[in-house]
Chains A and B, each alone.
Chain A
Amino acid sequence: MGDRPLIYGGLCLFVALVTFPVWKGVAAQSSTKGPEVKAVVDKKQCVAPRAYMREAHMELLVAWRDGKVRRQERHYTARDGTVYNVSLTGTCLTQCHGSKEKFCDSCHEYAGVSAPNCWGCHTSPPAEPAKMAAAAAGEMR
């Protein structure tokens, strides 16, 4: 019976270890709620319903990309009849969602999605172009 303290001590340690992520979360005051993404403009409706965009925005973007580049489909008619210019920077970001950092990245980072390579070429308005211009001015002549 002399082992009782050892057994209970071990059990306590085990429970503490197993529930460690919970305590860590409580200590860091994090929550399971996702990031608050907000459109910078007061528009109620995206080019497609919110639920669809949450699940399938990547499919819509790929359809836009292929349509514009390969089939010259430069306009997109939404379900409510609004016609949008097919453009990631010009329409999605400039007209509604602001910047890549504030909108795209906040969700992708939270969800641990590896960054899509859109931004290898496409730019996020308007901070990046200015930054790029400043960098280029410093480097050139």
Chain B
Amino acid sequence: MKLTRKDFLRVLAGSAVAVGAGTLVHAVGSANDRESAEAKNGKKRWGMAIDLQKCREEKGCDLCSRACHRSHNVPRLPDPAHEVKWLWNEPNGKVFPFQQNDYTRHALGETVPVLCNHCTNPACVRVCPTQATWKRGDGVVMMDYHRCIGCRYCMAACPYGSRSFNYVDPRPHLGAPNPDFPPRTAGVVEKCNFCEERLADGKQPACVEACPRNAMVFGDLNDGNSPIRQLLSGRYAVQRQPELGCGPSIFYLV
């Protein structure tokens, strides 16, 4: 049989598509493998589940936010444009902008506690030019204030607005400072660190401890028997804008 030029090109194009598809399938498969391999070799992935029903019942409660800001020396600045925050209550329309309808708005509560999502694929880490922010093996997205040059790329990249810039020296605005945690300086970006300093001592994050209703549950997402996984397998949970592909580690139980 004689192969025409047209047929030859057809076969060539078909082979290219087949090889490309194979590579893609392999890449997706290995990504899944990596996740399960992590779980198998005992690697932790810290995450948090926040029960919005409990938060809704305690309307106006900000004990978690206050405990966080107190223990991390987050300043209270008089100018709202300079505001620095690690954990705060945000109107639900800003937290779940694409899940707004007349019936679910009530279920989500008027305000929702928000913090750094400690994403599995953090946009802030990708854009940081100095590696001042990076993702630790246990899932905590860390900040190295020594290395931060204050370019604020990370703030532009974070879709959740979890980061704050120190426009002014925060130290005169600390109230009663916690001597065990250094405050920051003007010109650096800061955010929630998942209380990594407390995790190192085997403690729970300050916000989790401060909540009188135990609305916040913190734990290892890679451990199938952890309380957070039990909770997530029993109740419906949403993440903030999962379609962006960042993979938030904060889950909201609705």
Physical interaction between A and B: yes
Measured in the bound complex, the distance between the Cα atoms of B188 and A120 in whole Å is 11
| Among A65, A89, A136, contact of B173 (Cβ-Cβ < 8 Å) | A136
B102 within 8 A of A: no
Kindly list chain A residues whose C-beta atoms are within 8 Å of the C-beta of B134: 70
With A65-B146, A74-B200 already in contact, the answer to whether A129 and B76 are too (CB < 8 A) is: no
A111 within 8 A of B: no
Q: List residues of B (143-179) whose CB comes within 8 Å of A's CBs.
A: 144-146, 171-177, 179
Cβ-defined contact, A123 with B172, below 8 A? no
| Among A70, A74, A140, contact of B144 (Cβ-Cβ < 8 Å) | A70
Measured in the bound complex, the distance between the Cα atoms of B147 and A65 in whole Å is 11
| Among B145, B146, B179, B200, contact of A123 (Cβ-Cβ < 8 Å) | B179
Cβ-defined contact, B183 with A123, below 8 A? yes
Cβ-defined contact, B142 with A136, below 8 A? no
Measured in the bound complex, the distance between the Cα atoms of B76 and A137 in whole Å is 12
| Among B175, B184, B185, contact of A140 (Cβ-Cβ < 8 Å) | B175
| Among B145, B174, B180, B183, contact of A90 (Cβ-Cβ < 8 Å) | B180
Measured in the bound complex, the distance between the Cα atoms of B146 and A133 in whole Å is 24
Q: How many interface residues does A have (CB within 8 Å)?
A: 22
Measured in the bound complex, the distance between the Cα atoms of B85 and A11 in whole Å is 71
With A65-B146, A121-B184 already in contact, the answer to whether A129 and B172 are too (CB < 8 A) is: no
Measured in the bound complex, the distance between the Cα atoms of B196 and A69 in whole Å is 10
A43 within 8 A of B: no
Cβ-defined contact, B180 with A122, below 8 A? no
Query: Which residue on A lies nearest to B199, using beta carbons?
Result: A72
Measured in the bound complex, the distance between the Cα atoms of B179 and A89 in whole Å is 8
| Among A89, A117, A132, contact of B174 (Cβ-Cβ < 8 Å) | A132
User: Interface readout for A107-125 with B: 1 if CB under 8 Å, 0 if not?
Assistant: 0000000000100111101
- The B interface, classified by DSSP as helix, strand, loop or mixed, is loop
| Among A70, A72, A122, A126, contact of B200 (Cβ-Cβ < 8 Å) | A72
A42 within 8 A of B: no
Measured in the bound complex, the distance between the Cα atoms of B184 and A138 in whole Å is 21
Measured in the bound complex, the distance between the Cα atoms of B175 and A17 in whole Å is 56
B29 within 8 A of A: no
A135 within 8 A of B: yes
Cβ-defined contact, B175 with A120, below 8 A? no
Measured in the bound complex, the distance between the Cα atoms of B196 and A70 in whole Å is 12
A101 within 8 A of B: no
With A132-B174, A139-B172 already in contact, the answer to whether A69 and B146 are too (CB < 8 A) is: yes
Cβ-defined contact, A123 with B173, below 8 A? no
B80 within 8 A of A: no
Cβ-defined contact, A136 with B184, below 8 A? no
Interface residues of B (CB under 8 A from A): 76, 78, 134, 136, 142, 144-146, 171-177, 179-180, 182-186, 200
Apart from A121-B145, A121-B185, A133-B177: 9 A-B pairs, beta carbons within 8 A: A69-B142, A69-B144, A72-B136, A89-B179, A120-B185, A132-B174, A135-B172, A136-B173, A136-B175
Interface residues of A (CB under 8 A from B): 65, 69-70, 72, 74, 89-90, 117, 120-123, 125-126, 129, 132-133, 135-137, 139-140
Closest 3 CB pairs of A and B: A120-B185, A121-B182, A121-B185
